[in-house]
Structure 1
């Protein structure tokens, strides 16, 4: 990537992976001053394609990089680990040693960028993490930023797969007034068949045109997976079944496109190649992106990436806000807005609250609803539960359990002992 950025809008990116977000932000006009990635092979991919320093190692290790060296960067961005919030996992949140979202928010106070962009899986948008999300917004407010969440679908931005991503953007109030999440971009022929036809036909497969017509739909989310699981395939059973309906064999990754002798796509389903997987994730021919490592590692890098077109769309809107394009928004204030009533009541009270207090604060739900929220809160916060003189149970919100850089946190031992499992 050799283009220049005349406005000199810089980005520091953590948990950068193989560079899907990096590429999208570059297209949007940002220049990397630093990228950090723990996986050595993904980091080598970044170094092969990104004209910027790439630090290799645990992003929370000050010996790997020091956020204080990047004070004043225009944008702080990243795709922090997804397993803590994934619906496919246990949704452990702060109890998952890989959780880095809260740590990333702490770096905002250090780097003091004009804008923040962090993305994760759809699971983070679920009711289970309502208080976690609000804690993030509260911390940003404390640091002088207005934060806003949005669930975006890659298929709305020309990527022929579902791939929902939950994106947080935060800015100083004066800049945030001009920020709007991108609207869906209509694309003609945005199907798996259309996206991959030239690659499927590259070696002379006579069935390529018919396959294009049969693969006439949006694919399920590509699943890169973590180092704990599996090899290069297209995901769990349900995902493989969805790919089969598009006449794609999801049981593995091919070394090459089908040759002239390959059977009809009615009788036989081709497998994707690494190049095809990258195309489905939003990499273009002209990007000339090189993925390092063996096939399984390359596929995992691609499958775990933030699609470049989505990163570009959000990044372009951030840049437009920084340039104060358009008119200020009227639909949102320039200060934090609390969304979870139970968390709001507990975090704003100096004394313990009863269940009756919390039901009244919730205002729209039942006792069972509030009980579920309290259970979810207890996963991510210390929750003091006491019984008063009348026998009534009372609740007081304690410290957030998340990793924010504490020297004594369990995450340090986990990373040092199980580094090959961290992705």
Structure 2
């Protein structure tokens, strides 16, 4: 298969597109959206309007390109046709199944679409795959899940890598760690390099927001900005299961208070001339959705002042009421991070640079207990697992092996056999995740909770 012609727009299908943070970043990286699918109607409307207003799509093309509904519903789109001969399959599949703030239900969560997306990739065979999620997916709890993903992508013909990326390393003024999976067909994988990080490139919260804080004439905006040092804590969009907009859990609220921000809600507008309420001896304004959008990586004051209409122009207009807009912004993938990843993938597909030596994903082990049980022809006891791991140089004690087994039980059918001497032996059965099965529990749970899923 020849490399993509340089300069030619690459085509992407984006699943779980949200309000378009990843969409905008990928467009700025040189990708054109053949299709974007999103469950939430307000987010889809934001996406559709901005394709026309800021990205130059014709109205009819934008209407066809944005589909609203469950991405796993064949009535919404037909991957075999809509994703045929595709350059990139991308998406930010729902994060609650893996979020530390949630119950980390993994495959038992009706919102889990990660495994489904991996199987979709195997079926439609795009040249590249990009999926992002929360840092929780990198935890030991999901080591077996990640191992299964790598193994399946290897079987589908891809070279895959995980990386934990910090948004502030790409100029975004907040922590926002995201766990990113990139997979490419073997022809293109040697040309992929993770985007260069730029530590220290992000502005402080005060420097980033001072013009927005002052837009209604608040004379104390500059003094506030000088005290609002450092980058922001992670913006938390939340879900429809919870109430209105605020800036996150207790720890995040404390971090915001240190920067002189009232995190108990989101304001309709910037502080008035008289200033915001004084709390504990200092002015403490609330953020507006425009401020939150800027923290999330949409256009900052410098670009706005320059009237930037280049590939670094990250303007976007959000549709809906305040709580919906805040949720759309808070759940988005920061556009500058998406752009950086998009450029790296585009370069790989165009075979830019010298190819690197690949580390086969089959040799990458995220969960040695999973790999051992999956490859064993017979059930193994804990002692046998310990002995075999030790012989292979992966020493592990009894408590750690038992912890791995307990984690695996959440996401896989664990078959147990009690031997005549009373010792229990284990083997791994089916993966519990939804991968498109007609009879999976996901369908009933999704129908029951659809109005609260975001």
1:146 is aligned to 159
1:117 is aligned to 130
1:283 is aligned to 298
Asked if residue 302 in structure 1 is aligned to residue 329 in structure 2, the reply is yes
2: CA distance, partners of 1:283 / 1:358 = 50
Range 295-304 or range 351-360, more displaced: 351-360
Assess, with a 3 A threshold, how the Cα gap between structure 1 residues 339 and 415 changes in structure 2: closer, same or farther: closer
Assess, with a 3 A threshold, how the Cα gap between structure 1 residues 75 and 277 changes in structure 2: closer, same or farther: same
Q: Is the 8 A contact 1:257 1:272 kept in 2?
A: yes
From 61, 71, 88, the equivalent of 1:59 is 71
Range 129-138 or range 188-197, more displaced: 188-197
Asked if residue 366 in structure 1 is aligned to residue 378 in structure 2, the reply is no
2:309 is aligned to none
Query: Alignment length, in residue pairs?
Result: 419
2: CA distance, partners of 1:155 / 1:361 = 42
After TM superposition, give the deviation of residue 187 of structure 1 in Å: 5.0
From 414, 422, 426, the equivalent of 1:391 is 422
SS of the residue corresponding to residue 199 of structure 1 reads helix
Assess, with a 3 A threshold, how the Cα gap between structure 1 residues 340 and 379 changes in structure 2: closer, same or farther: same
Report Cα offsets for 1:50-72 as digits up to 9, x if no partner. 23411100010000111111111
Asked if residue 411 in structure 1 is aligned to residue 442 in structure 2, the reply is yes
Report Cα offsets for 1:333-371 as digits up to 9, x if no partner. 475533321011011112111212211233322100000
From 242, 254, 274, the equivalent of 2:289 is 274
SS of the residue corresponding to residue 240 of structure 1 reads helix
1: CA distance, partners of 2:199 / 2:398 = 44
Asked if residue 197 in structure 1 is aligned to residue 210 in structure 2, the reply is yes
2: CA distance, partners of 1:241 / 1:157 = 25
Assess, with a 3 A threshold, how the Cα gap between structure 1 residues 114 and 356 changes in structure 2: closer, same or farther: same
1: CA distance, partners of 2:276 / 2:15 = 45
Range 266-275 or range 281-290, more displaced: 281-290
1:354 is aligned to 381
1:305-316 to 2 correspondences below 5 Å? 305-316=332-343
SS of the residue corresponding to residue 174 of structure 1 reads coil
From 351, 354, 367, the equivalent of 1:327 is 354
Assess, with a 3 A threshold, how the Cα gap between structure 1 residues 63 and 123 changes in structure 2: closer, same or farther: same
Q: Is the 8 A contact 2:171 2:202 kept in 1?
A: no
TM-score (norm. length: structure 2): 0.89
2: CA distance, partners of 1:7 / 1:66 = 25
Assess, with a 3 A threshold, how the Cα gap between structure 1 residues 60 and 190 changes in structure 2: closer, same or farther: same
Asked if residue 422 in structure 1 is aligned to residue 435 in structure 2, the reply is no
RMSD (Å) for aligned C-alpha atoms = 1.6
**What stretches of structure 1 of length at least 5 have no aligned partner?**
none
SS of the residue corresponding to residue 187 of structure 2 reads helix
Q: Is the 8 A contact 1:72 1:112 kept in 2?
A: yes
Asked if residue 239 in structure 1 is aligned to residue 239 in structure 2, the reply is no
Q: Is the 8 A contact 2:168 2:201 kept in 1?
A: no
Q: Is the 8 A contact 1:28 1:312 kept in 2?
A: yes
Assess, with a 3 A threshold, how the Cα gap between structure 1 residues 156 and 356 changes in structure 2: closer, same or farther: same
2: CA distance, partners of 1:127 / 1:186 = 27
Q: Is the 8 A contact 1:154 1:161 kept in 2?
A: yes
1: CA distance, partners of 2:361 / 2:109 = 33
Range 327-336 or range 230-239, more displaced: 327-336
SS of the residue corresponding to residue 152 of structure 1 reads strand
TM-score (norm. length: structure 1): 0.96
After TM superposition, give the deviation of residue 129 of structure 1 in Å: 0.3
Report Cα offsets for 1:209-258 as digits up to 9, x if no partner. 11111111111101110110121100111111110101111011111111
